[in-house]
Structure formats: C-alpha cells, structure tokens
Amino acid sequence: VTVEMKSSKVAIVRMNRPPVNALSKDLMHGLRRTICDLEDNDVKGIVLTSSSKVFCAGLDLAELLNPTQEFVSSFWKELQGLWITLYSSRLVTVAAVNGAAPAAGCMLALSCDYRMMSSKNVIGMNETKFGLFPPPWFVELMADTVGRRKAEMLLLQGTLLSTEDALACGMIDQIVE
C-alpha cells in the first residue's frame, strides 16, 4: 500500500500488489493499518485506488487454496476488520475505481462514501458464478447501494456491470475518463 498526500488533509491510498491487487491477508492488513494511521494523523479524506490497471480482483484465491483452518479464520478476521474500518471510518472515503472491481474488489468500493469509475471497466459481485456465495454483509452493502430487488438479481446471477450500467443503477456515482 502506498500513500501520497495531495494536501495536508487528503491522501491518495494506492493498492500496489501486482498484477491484480488480489486481497491477500497481508494486503488487507496493510490497508487497514494505513486507514487507521491516517485517521490518527488529522487527515480528512482518502481516495482509494490502484497503482495498476486492475482496481482489485477480490480475495486472493491462491491463498484460499487448501488453507489450514487457522489460516482461514485469520484471513476472514482480517477481511471483516478491513470492512469495518473502511465502512465506519471517520474519513471521507472515495473509491477511484480505475480498473476491474469484481467480488471483494466491489465490496471495497461499496464501503466507501463515493465511487468514481473509469469507463470500459466492470464492477460487481460475481461469487455465485464460481459456486461461492457472498457473506451477508456484502449482500447488505449491495442492497443499501442499489436497492434490495436489484441487489438480489445481481447477486443471484453474479453479474459484473459495465461502468455505464453501474452508473445507471447507482452502484457508482460518477464516470471519470
């Protein structure tokens, strides 16, 4: 995770885990630590983005391949901790979605107060497409953002929306070129 101060009050927080910013336990820990440190330093707002062409590919599936029970438990704790920290942060949080944001990548964006996204990208929770279901707090985030019926349809079908369709249903707030 890298931090660039745009002014004394606004920080650009970049996920920097090539090639796709898959959320490993360490990346989630780094993000949470960074947000907490910025909160402790009188910063007012952050822009969360990526240093590569993918915003975030979701959970690191490689880390979840044949894990020990202990690892799954600590991984899950880290994911929940990151979500709680970001969602409840006193900072104004903006997601600058500058690449694909599937699954937990979408969760990160939806946990922010405002979402801008570059065109020709995709965002959504596609877990059902590969036989997983999103945890209830992902579901609530989606329902709070696009409405319950739309969320139900998107989650059932594991739809990844284009930038334009995401704007049309309120999943993002602005398209930025």
Query: In the complex, which residues of this chain contact ligand LEDWP2DD (CB under 6 A)?
Result: 19-20, 22, 54, 57-62, 64, 72, 100, 102-104, 126-127, 132, 134
- What's the min distance (Å) between Cβ of 57 and ligand LEDWP2DD? 4
**In this complex, which beta carbon is closest to ligand LEDWP2DD, that of residue 39 or of residue 152?**
152
Which of 81, 92, 114, 108 is closest to 22 using CA atoms? 108
H/E stretch holding 166: helix 163-168
Q: Would you say 11 and 5 are in contact if contact means Cβ atoms under 8 Å apart?
A: yes
From the CB of 9, what's the least distance to ligand LEDWP2DD, in Å? Answer: 31
Q: Residues for the chain: how many in total?
A: 177
109 and 145 in contact (C-beta within 8 Å)? no
Shortest reach from residue 51's CB to ligand LEDWP2DD, in Å? 14
- Residue sitting closest to ligand LEDWP2DD (CB): 58
Nearer to ligand LEDWP2DD, 1 or 103 (CB): 103
- Cis check: omega of the bond before 19, within 30 degrees of 0: yes
